[in-house]
Amino acid sequence: MSAPQHTSTDSQAEAPDAAAGLPPETVRTFVTLALLFHLFVAIVAAIGSSRAYSDLVDRLVVKLVAPLHYPELLGFRSYASYGLTYNLDTDYEGAAEVVLDWEAGDEAEGDRVEAKQKLAFFDPEAIALPIRRQRYLSYIRQMGDLAAAEPPSPLEVEMPMAVSRALLAEADMPDGRHRFRLWRLPTNPPAFIDDARTPPARTIYEGNIAVRGGKLDFTKADRAAASSPVVPSRSPIAPPADGIPPIDDSPLGDRAIQPPTDGLPSNLRPFDPPFDNPARPNGNR
Amino acid sequence: MATVNSAAELPLAERLLRPWNAFWFTPRDASTLSVIRIATGLLALYWAASYTPDLMNFFGPEGFVPLADLQRARGSTFPRSILEFCNTSGAIWTFHAIGLLILASFTAGFFSRTTGLLSVVVVVSYMQRAPAVTSQAEPVLLMLLLYLCVGPCGAKLSVDACLRRKPTGGASRAKASECGDSRSWLATLSTRLIQVHLTIAYVAMVLAKLNDGVPLTNEPGTYHAWWHGQAVWWLAAREHSPLLDVSPLLTSNILLVNAWTHAIVLFEAGFAIFIWRPAFRRFLLWAAVPMWLSLAVITGLAPFCLLMLVGNLAFVEPAAMRRIAGRLAGRSATSP
């Protein structure tokens, strides 16, 4: 009695595979299914992070990718940042500082504010390693994104407050009223652009800090919302032609940010050194 | 008794699966994986070690990233990082030291699969504890570490390989099972995963560059850096980010800026498509070197750019990698 043909077919099909070093069919099947699922998730996560407006992709991200958690844990959904730059507001570098002993009259800024003591979030000149600089710049960019979010994010206070607390703690928490300021530093345009004027640096978020007996209280300052144009994160930095601020010395209403000819306020050029704390020569605590 | 003599006589499903099986499961040598392991490990070590001066700033209980705020932003208190359990400076420094040791062991190829998985845990811990300070590098690093664990990345150029060559002992047999045979289908699976995921990343990068979320109109004030060919300027002219200031070269040279910008986009798009064709592979792999190195200079994102180059090594055939390694070692490569 001869063996059933399908049995000999199966075993003879398996034999060349095994001889070629392939894993058994069961293993291949299992791995294939896992591969198809994993690669599908990876593709949806990548596309879903790149500003796709398809309802289907959005739903797949919400229903399939998000509940798995591992794509987010492993950064599969981070590809939106691979645009590197769009010359938008959120792409610019920034700076953050705490101005000590802020007084009500300092709203008008001017020389008096420049003379005040400032605690800088970080000194890029003092940090030699580029990867470390990038971390601080990323943190500032994230703070700026939250500050510029429309509608306002309930978390916009948390990062500035944490930075303020950390900086003031290094300065032994001096009692009094202080001011947190977050700046956007626009990039100089190239010479080949017709209207090659750098918009001035501007504060995009300010907070009032009150310290008493080691306790810190932080509230968002209205001045930043009212006087500095908080550009939504998806808008380009260059305002319409009739809104470009002058680069002469004329004051800008009650904002009193005097844009110098090189486009940056004088208290940020050169970059102010951090508060002179021997325990923190390079940004470490 | 009938036998199968040709592929045409196989069931349809098997005929369709043959290319798939050949692509994913045909055994290959682990030379390429081993080189990728070393390069990835070195970059991971550098990335983690660079946290040392800022450890308390970013991970400390009184630092810039309070845990309560992080959990509130995340919308969950479920821990995603071992550092969330480190409430004191001593615990944080201990984790940091152990993390560096794990990454160093993985680089050296000591218990490669185990230290590889632990390396993933270490990198995820840093990344998830302070996501605000992460960059484009971390997802690529994690992808490489994860997929390296799948294959026998410690089969060659490793402590595991040296221990396996020891003449006697059950311990050497244990090491052999740890790193596996150097020619295996797992090496192929690991390599293909890196290749495919890297291609997905390239496609996502191109989409991200060309889709900035702002309507493509000619209204004043709208600006699309990659479409208009000026993105390179807006990267190179930043004050603190670039490794070198090349803006004086670019400021009056619109054609160079345009060409450089368009070249980046075209390269990334072309890589994703043509890397799978052997005729274009060598050119693309060589073209990637100046592309990513120049991008590192103008963006300052050196780890990210170098990791992309490391990922590109997955497209180098093991035989070619052995020849290169042999030349570097000053001897001719031997076959496995």
Supply the pLDDT for residue B144: 97
A50 lies in some domain: yes
Which of A55, A83, A111 finishes a domain? A83
Supply the pLDDT for residue A8: 47
A40 lies in some domain: yes
A176 lies in the same domain as A193: yes
A283 lies in some domain: no
Residue of B282, B307, B314, B280 lying closest to B293 (CA atoms): B307
Supply the pLDDT for residue A265: 36
Collect the ranges in chain B with pLDDT lower than 50. 1-5, 170-181, 221-222, 333
Supply the pLDDT for residue B272: 95
Supply the pLDDT for residue A213: 87
CB contact under 8 A, A87 and B50: no
In terms of CA atoms, which chain B residue is nearest residue A137? Answer: B133
Whether residue A268 lies within 8 A of chain B, CB to CB, comes out as no
Domain extent for A239? 89-268
A161 lies in the same domain as A255: yes
Supply the pLDDT for residue A75: 86
A71 lies in the same domain as A97: no
Which of A63, A83, A103 finishes a domain? A83
Looking at the structure of chain A, the number of domains it has is 2
Tokens for B55? 């450890």
Collect the ranges in chain A with pLDDT lower than 50. 1-9, 224-285
A62 lies in the same domain as A203: no
Whether residue B211 lies within 8 A of chain A, CB to CB, comes out as yes
Supply the pLDDT for residue B174: 46
A284 lies in some domain: no
- Residue A105 one-letter amino acid: G
CB contact under 8 A, B69 and A162: yes
A121 lies in the same domain as A229: yes
CB contact under 8 A, A285 and B63: yes
From A108's Cα to the closest Cα of chain B, the distance in A is 28
A64 lies in the same domain as A117: no
Residue of A264, A121, A132 lying closest to A199 (CA atoms): A264
Supply the pLDDT for residue B327: 83
In terms of CA atoms, which chain A residue is nearest residue B71? Answer: A155
Supply the pLDDT for residue B14: 77
A258-265: long-range contacts at Cβ-Cβ below 8 A with a sequence spacing of 24 or more?
A258/A110, A259/A200, A260/A200, A262/A198, A263/A186, A263/A188, A263/A197, A263/A198, A263/A199, A263/A200, A263/A201, A264/A185, A264/A198, A264/A200, A264/A201, A265/A200, A265/A201
Supply the pLDDT for residue A111: 59
A275 lies in some domain: no
A75 lies in the same domain as A192: no
Supply the pLDDT for residue B73: 83
Whether residue B208 lies within 8 A of chain A, CB to CB, comes out as yes
Alpha helices by DSSP H, chain B: 12-25, 31-49, 55-59, 67-74, 89-108, 112-129, 137-150, 159-164, 170-179, 185-210, 231-236, 247-250, 254-274, 278-299, 302-312, 318-329
Taking the model in full, what pTM does it have? 0.82
A45 lies in the same domain as A76: yes
A116 lies in the same domain as A256: yes
Which residue in A31, A87, A283 is closest to B234 by CB distance? A87
A78 lies in the same domain as A171: no
Whether residue B88 lies within 8 A of chain A, CB to CB, comes out as no
Helix (H) or strand (E) holding A205: strand A202-212
Supply the pLDDT for residue A188: 86
A175 lies in the same domain as A210: yes
A67 lies in the same domain as A201: no
What is the DSSP code (8-state) at residue A107? G
Supply the pLDDT for residue B262: 95
Which of A37, A61, A83 finishes a domain? A83
A13 lies in some domain: yes
CB contact under 8 A, A138 and B134: yes
Whether residue B204 lies within 8 A of chain A, CB to CB, comes out as yes
Which residue in A35, A185, A234 is closest to B24 by CB distance? A35
Whether residue B56 lies within 8 A of chain A, CB to CB, comes out as yes
A274 lies in some domain: no
